[in-house]
Amino acid sequence: MTDPVQRAWIDLAPGYAGYLALPPARRGPGILLMQEIFGVNEHIRAVADQYALDGFVVLAPDLFWREAPRVELGYEGADMTQARALMTAYTAEQAIADIGIAARVLRARAEVGASKIGTVGYCMGGRMAWFAAATAGVDAAVAYYGGGIHMNLQYAASVRCPMQFHYAGHDDHIPPQAVASVRQAMGPERAEVHVYADAHHGFNCWARGSYHAASAALAHGRALSFLAAKLF
């Protein structure tokens, strides 16, 4: 049977690439899929394919292209150490530049055409989705357990698109007061904030010990409803 998703790595700029997944219709609204600290690894590519099957043209930019192009890391030991080092070295200025390039490339794709684009990000990628909402002109943004958003609230006034946030009820990296500060900065008129009481950080990733299927399914359904309403 023919694979309904067409996928390829494409060049975004010299040395900078991204994983592109096209939906069965080969056209639709765009999604910038923002990686965790582990690179555009097998899990992120599978999430891209998942959103492609949902009808979106998905581009997952390789954000660590300067230090470790196409790096794929696991979730423990030396891989975790390398992932944290890559995240620490990756500056907000680099991120905003990379996101801007990826957004322009995605909007210019013939498969997107005149359709809208949004962004979805996980962990570090949640913070990237926040930057995209503030600086890249996306039409909707979804941030899953976005680490560091509460330390970058100076961008809140620049967010012009609706946002949806998903947080774990038990998160050693994002305390409840951080969630409260994001909620207050955005207000109910500009953002939905969902907290999953039984979940831990990384609950959407089925390759991690913190995976929580019930929370992941509920969050994905909410994200799809949100993105369908804002982008189609």
Query: Out of 43, 201, 212, 220, which one is annotated catalytic?
Result: 201
Q: How far apart are CA 97 and CA 135, in angstroms?
A: 9
Exactly one of 123, 161, 166, 220 is catalytic; name it: 123
User: Token pair for residue 202?
Assistant: 């990384």
What span, in angstroms and rounded, lies between the C-alpha atoms of 80 and 195? Answer: 26
- Residue 5 · residue 23 · CB < 8 Å: yes
- Dihedrals φ, ψ of 60, to 5°? -110, 100
Q: Is 123 a catalytic residue?
A: yes
Active-site position among 171, 200, 205, 220: 171
Residue 171 a catalytic site member: yes
Burial class of 109 by CB neighbour count within 10 A (0 to 12, 13 to 18, 19+): middle
Q: Which two tokens stand for residue 4?
A: 């309904």
Based on the residue annotation, tell me whether 205 is a catalytic residue of this protein.
no
Residue 110 CB coordination number (10 Å): 8
227: tokens are 């993105």
Q: Which residues are catalytic?
A: 123, 171, 201
